[in-house]
Structure 1
Amino acid sequence: MRYIVIGAGAVGGTIGARLFQGGHEVVLVARGAHYEALKRDGLRLITPESSETLDIPAADGPVPTRDDDVLVLATKSQDTIAALAPWPSDLPVVCAQNGVDNERTVLRRFERVYGMCVWLPAQHLEPGVVAAHGHPYSGMLHVGRYPQGVDELAQRIADDLGKRGLVGRATPDVMRWKHGKLLGNLGNAVEALLGRGTGAEIAERARAEARTVLDTAGIAYSTTEEELARRGHNVDIRPIDGVARGGGSSWQSLARGSGSIEADYLNGEIVLLGRLHGVPTPVNEVLRREANRSAAGRRPPGSMSADELLALIEA
């Protein structure tokens, strides 16, 4: 079985590298300077224990496919449709992404869709380089068939992930875990707007608002206690010598000046559900709106003060 990783950034690059180290065929799909660096030099994976350059095949677009290919989609949610457009719809797709909308979107065109709940603290700020801060494993990945269940392929993917540097779990209720992860990701916009280590109260207000929405909508989600018990000390965040650790995925989007951010699929998911079920979501709406404004204006992380953000929420 060959894994084609579409979006070889922090998450995709780490997953692809670990699968490759585990003896699997892998192709990394990337763009621009990152693709050029991968093609020329290989992927450099830096962890708390080591730094290794891996000669993984790379492409900047579709490659000839095989019957045993699995597409691992690790782009930001706003890029899902465009990223999958060139690929054959008879291939299975694993959505290794934040948010809970990707699987439903992909299912419109692809019959075999798998959700992946990603716990993987990593960053990609330099072409050709990915730093994975998790220890002793780089990440824990729950995999299940969408919308529910575990089939033979889901189990095989989980087993393959677990061969080197990752914990793979075949999980029938993967979307319940992804909704729990969504709650945690609501703070991504806060971190991006205010900077690391600030805005905890605002993030918790966004999560409390979201829990009300999910409960009203009758959507199940994993709890923080469940997540901590399941993760244990498998993916503790450790420093890496010579690598300054930045923030999460939204923080990195602003740091790279990418021009877009996934807030519409994180905070915006709560706003959407709130509108569908008649629950006000002012905190998440402000976070969604301001994160998009910062991305479009290519403002760096931490460009807003907590007082400014609170004033917008209270207004």
Structure 2
Amino acid sequence: MRILIVGAGATGGAFGARLVDAGRDVAFLVRPARAEALRRDGLRLRAPDGDATRPARAITAAELHREPAGFDLVIVTVKAAGLDAAIEDVRPAVGPGTVVLPVLNGMAHLGPLEEAFPGRVLGGLAHIVASLEDDGAVTQLTDLSVVTVPAGHPALAEALDVPGIDLVVSPDITGAMWEKWAFIAAMGVVCCLFRAPIGAVLEAGGEAHVRAVIAETEAVAAAAGHPVSAASHERTVAVLTATGSPVTSSLYRDLVAGRPTEAEPVLGDLAARARGLGVAVPLLDLTLTQVRADALQRATR
């Protein structure tokens, strides 16, 4: 299976490194500067199980037309802000037999991708805590490295079932995506509203608010027809009520660093759906207003 990974940042780089290590035929569609760095330095992954650099085949959008038509699998790992450009860049790689697997946060990306590549797009999701460092290396911060794909695609599952990736084949991929969305939105609200890691929020007496946030995001999922399972709920509660936890959300980390955030696809879209479903989400709304106000202030500086 010929695999094209769109992006070689934290998510694409970490999962792509595992696929390269397993001998999969992998190429990375990246911007020219990232392509030059990958060709010169290789793809370095620092992870709990080791630190290694491997060769990485990098392709830019301008070079994609030279590739044989139609990759078998296109994995989209860019953040929401880069989705529109990624769709245009990747068009030459998508043929009649191509499967497009996005692993973006939220669900707002599915519409544009399906419109661009009708009948080619599957639901999918990833769980990983990783970051792209200034030196171009990818750091995987914990052992968590999960990719979830829908049932009924054995070739896809076989391609992604490699050491270093915990593959989950889900009979209800939409439900799985809602569970992740409810979780990451809850973590984003907690960290962004209180501007602190989970442990600090709890130490300040915020556990009741944390539980209220969880109830809000999970209520939206339930109203949409995809109630969060008891097991997923317990995992969310365990993570967001862990005493002394230094954990923060990627949304919060981007916010405090002044980088573009995924507030709209993660929080904004969820709030809009809540309104449409008649679900009250006051803490989510407060956080979204704060994040939007912050973005407006930064834009005028």
Q: TM-score, normalised by structure 1?
A: 0.76
Matched, 1:143 2:149: yes
Q: What pairs with 1:26-45 in structure 2 (closer than 5 Å)?
A: 26-31=26-31, 33-45=33-45
CA–CA distance in structure 1, aligned partners of residues 234 and 4 of structure 2: 28
Q: 1:296: how far off?
A: 5.7
Partner of 2:72: 69
Q: d(CA) in 2 for partners of 1:283 and 1:249?
A: 19
Deviations 1:173-201 (A, max 9, x none): 11111111111101125435613234454
Task: Give the CA RMSD over aligned residues.
Answer: 2.8
Q: Secondary structure at the match of 2:105?
A: coil
* CA positional deviation for 1:256: 5.2
SS in 2 for 1:120: strand
Q: Residue 288 and residue 47 in structure 1: after superposition, are their counterparts in 2 closer, same or farther (change >3 A)?
A: same
1:218 aligns with 2:225: yes
Answering whether residue 39 of structure 2 is matched by residue 58 of structure 1, we say no
Q: Residue 172 of structure 1: CA displacement?
A: 2.5
Secondary structure of the residue aligned to 2:90 is: coil
**Counterparts in 2 of 1:226-237, with a 5 A limit?**
228=235
- Distance in 1 (alpha carbons) for counterparts of 2:293 and 2:32: 24
Q: Give the TM-score, by structure 2 length.
A: 0.80
Tell me the equivalent position of 1:25.
25
Aligned residue in 2 for 1:307: none
165-174 vs 29-38, which moves further: 29-38
More helix per residue: 1 or 2? 2
In 1, Cα distance between equivalents of 2:196 and 2:297: 17
Q: CA deviation at 1:161?
A: 2.0
Partner of 1:126: 134
Distance (whole Å) between structure 2 residues aligned to residue 252 and residue 36 of structure 1: 27
**Is it true that 1:115 corresponds to 2:123 in the alignment?**
yes
Give, as a single letter, the amino acid of the residue that structure 2 aligns with 1:143: V
**Counterpart code for 1:45:** L
Structure 2 residue matching 1:267: 3-state secondary structure: helix
Deviation at 1:208, TM superposition (A): 1.2
| Paired position in structure 2 for 1:287 | 287
Provide the C-alpha distance between the structure 2 equivalents of 1:98 and 1:36, rounded to a whole number of angstroms. 28
- Letter of the 1:250 partner, please give it: L
Displacement, 1:225? 4.2
Across the two proteins, how many residue pairs are aligned to each other? 274
CA 1:223–1:71: 2 relative to 1, 3 Å = farther
Q: Deviations over 1:37-64 (max 9, x none)?
A: 2232011100112111111011343513
Superposed displacement of residue 207, structure 1? 2.4
> Any conservation in 2 of the 1:78–1:265 contact (CA below 8 Å)?
no
Unaligned runs of 5+ in 2: 236-245
Residue identity in the other structure for 2:130: A
CA positional deviation for 1:203:
4.3
Equivalent position of 2:252 in the other structure? 251
For 1:208, which of 212, 215, 240 is the aligned residue? 215
What is the distance in 1 between the residues matched to 2:181 and 2:146? 16
Q: 1:207 to 1:112 in 2, by over 3 A?
A: same
Which piece of structure 1 moves more, 27-36 or 108-117? 27-36
Identity %: 26
